[in-house]
Amino acid sequence: MRRSFCLLLISLLCPFLIACTASNEEATGTKSATQSVTDERIVATTVAITNIFAKLDIDLVGVPETATTLPKRYQEVTTVGGPMNPDLEVITSLKPDIVYGTTTLESEQKANYQAANIPANFLDFTSISSMFGEIDSLGTEYNREAEAKTLVDGLKAQMQTAKAKIPTGENPKVLILMGIPGSYLVCTENSFLGNLVKEAGGENIVQGEKVEYLASNTEYLQQANPDIILRAAHGMPSEVVEMFKQEFETNDIWQHFSAVKKNRVYDLDSEYFGMTANLDSITAFEKLISIMYKE
């Protein structure tokens, strides 16, 4: 029941998360979509994937529909719908050799692509390190090893610089909540935000779970006694921030949390903290470190 409930909530979350998964990379590349660097006709269904292909200097025939500004080279390319519900009819019309999505949506989309006879590959962006691996694989696949290495090496160096600022001997216990208006979930260490906290030296109070998200049980969460509570607001951030504010003010149990008493509850900026890794995730990591080890 818990797994089914979580899957239902995640399906409700996804439409609101389209903008949140978007990286805010500056538009890069000047080639038009007709100047292909590969013979393959490629469709990217998320903004994070689209931005990576731009960095690798690879053209696309289909890109996601988004309010975020895509790299210049893709601004005239056909849009194929949002990440949660890509338009299979439009994608089919593009005659793609491959469509790229993320593993967070694979269970919901794989069968649909198979039924439509559309070849699809799902990239693992559940952590920064897994994103690095996928970038390297794409570089190898499309003869862009040098571009991939430059991109990954730059991000790794930035991450190492950020990690050097983490105080030794401190491992704060952290509760991560992710919400949309009216609902919220608890992020396990298997989620992207959970992994980000782990990389920053934090200990997620939810351990030993295989899923990425769980329904909230405030009594259990209070017993775990987190040092820090992080609240992620996605899709409609102003509404979610207000929802969390009301929840914490009207539900008395939150007043018994040590993190609340010590004023260590933080609302994460949805511009940087999404459901999956993207090219802005190192900036998010830097911001997270400054939050977790705030003096």
pLDDT tens readout for residues 201-255: 999 999 888 888 999 888 889 899 999 999 998 767 889 999 999 999 999 999 9
- CATH number of the domain residue 89 falls in: 3.40.50.1980
User: Helix (H, G, I), strand (E, B), or coil: what is residue 129?
Assistant: helix
Domain count, the chain: 2
Final residue of a structural domain among 145, 163, 181:
163
Residue 87 belongs to what domain range?
A: 19-163
Helices (H), the chain: 2-17, 47-55, 88-93, 106-115, 128-141, 145-163, 192-199, 218-224, 237-250, 258-261, 281-292
In b/e form, how buried is each residue of 159-185, taking b as 16+ CB within 10 angstroms?
A: beebeeeeeeeeebbbbbbbbbeeebb
My answer on whether 101 and 159 are in the same domain is: yes
67 within some domain: yes
pLDDT tens readout for residues 142-154: 999 999 999 999 9
Final residue of a structural domain among 144, 163, 182:
163
- The answer to whether the beta carbons of residues 199 and 128 sit under 8 Å apart is yes
My answer on whether 155 and 194 are in the same domain is: no
Whether the pTM exceeds 0.85: the reply is no
My answer on whether 90 and 182 are in the same domain is: no
My answer on whether 132 and 186 are in the same domain is: no
Final residue of a structural domain among 163, 185, 219:
163
Residues ≥6 apart with Cβ < 8 Å to 115: none
My answer on whether 41 and 149 are in the same domain is: yes
My answer on whether 274 and 228 are in the same domain is: yes
